Amino acid sequence: MNLPQDASQDPIPDATQPSSDAPEAAEIGAAESASSESAQTESVQTESALAVSENPEAADGEEPITAWTPEPEKLFSALLFASQEYLSGRILKEIMGDDWDLPSLRRLTKAVNKKFEEQEMPFEVAEVDGTFRIRTRTQYYPWTRKLFRDANPRRLSQASLETLAIIAYKQPITKAEIESIRGVNVDGCMKSLLEKKLVDVNGRTDAMGGAFTYSTTREFMRYFGINRVPDDLPRLSEFEAIVNAQALIPQIAADGTIVEVNQEEPDGEQMSLDSLE
């Protein structure tokens, strides 16, 4: 006779107890969750890396560069206003873009100055030998000079300024030719002008002996606001007024004209600049 099987040998599964497959399911779920979180993290990191590569400055904690692009005239004015020195065409091209070569910058200068004039602004953009700077207009000099009372006006003797005038209008020129025009030795004058970097050695002549020739420098051009030599040189009458004032910086009246200042004790070597014409 067949006996019934013992219930303890084949127990009925309890629905309230977790099955043997539950731990495996939990592990799979955790793995899938971790994989999802990892994928999201990698996505965020990838987007951040792309943002940094597009805006390198953002990696240093700086504000990312926006897509806004200013108008060329305003950007040009802002760069010149922010700089304390003349900016070369190369530097401006690096900042503003490859399209802004020297001819384009010169056209931009004319456009900016035209707007300044229309708005009666006291500023202008000056170009000196391919470099640019924003400055106050000449007629404001009697007031703006008071901001720099301690600045050295680079005063030169009458003889040195006359020598500088000869070099400016006759360059390149040898020291012997300068002395021939002035009629006196100019060793001291040349030493002073070279020290102040207003003139420099230009080269040698082809004649026997190969004497040095001298020309004015960019520093000279900046002081007189000259872009090209000799096209932009001041008229001889203006230069003579500067010579009589014994100052490289012109003496400007309130109406913007150059004031001729007569010396109380004329230099014994004083000459007329008429010989340069």
Could you tell me if 191 and 224 lie in one domain?
yes
- 233 contacts: CB under 8 Å, gap ≥ 6: 168, 169, 224, 226, 239
pLDDT at 154: 63
| 16 in any annotated domain | no
* 67 inside domain: no
| Residue 214 forms part of a structural domain | yes
Where residue 36 falls among pLDDT bands split at 50, 70, 90?
low
Residues 265 and 164 in one domain: yes
User: Is 186:179 a contact under the CB 8 Å cutoff?
Assistant: yes
Residue 201's SS3 state is strand
Q: What is the DSSP string of 177-188?
A: HHHHHHSS--HH
For range 259-270, the mean pLDDT: 45
- What is the rounded CA–CA span in Å between residue 114 and residue 77? 13
Query: What pLDDT, on the 0 to 100 scale, is given for residue 254?
Result: 55
* pLDDT the model gives residue 263: 42
b/e code 181-191 from CB counts within 10 Å (16+ = b)? bbebebeebbe
- Tell whether 185 and 237 lie within a shared domain: yes
Same domain, 162 and 219: yes
State which residues form the domain around 194.
151-276
Query: According to the model, what pLDDT value does residue 266 have?
Result: 39
pLDDT tens digits, residue range 48-68? 444 444 555 455 555 555 678
Based on the domain organization, do 125 and 167 belong to the same domain? no
The domain tally of the chain equals: 2
Q: What percent of the chain has pLDDT over 70?
A: 60
Residue 60, burial from CB neighbour count under 10 angstroms (0-12, 13-18, 19+): exposed
Which residue shows structure tokens 């070569």? 101
Q: Which of 91, 113, 136 is the last residue in one of the domains?
A: 136
pLDDT for the residue numbered 259: 58
Residue 265's pLDDT is: 38
Tell me, yes or no, whether 119 and 229 share the same domain.
Answer: no
Strands, DSSP E only, in 67-192? Answer: 87-88, 123-128, 131-136, 173-174
If asked whether residues 131 and 164 sit together in one domain, one would say no
Q: What is the DSSP letter of 173?
A: E
Lowest-pLDDT range, 41-50, 146-155, 226-235? Answer: 41-50
- pLDDT 10s digits, 152-168: 556 778 888 889 989 99
**Is 162 found in the same domain as 91?**
no
Among 166, 171, 162, CA closest to 213: 171
86-104 mean pLDDT: 94
Find the CATH number of the domain harbouring 199.
Answer: 1.10.10.10
Asked whether residue 180 is domain-assigned, the answer is yes
pTM above 0.85, yes or no: no
**Could you tell me if 178 and 92 lie in one domain?**
no
> Are residue 122 and residue 204 in the same domain, yes or no?
no
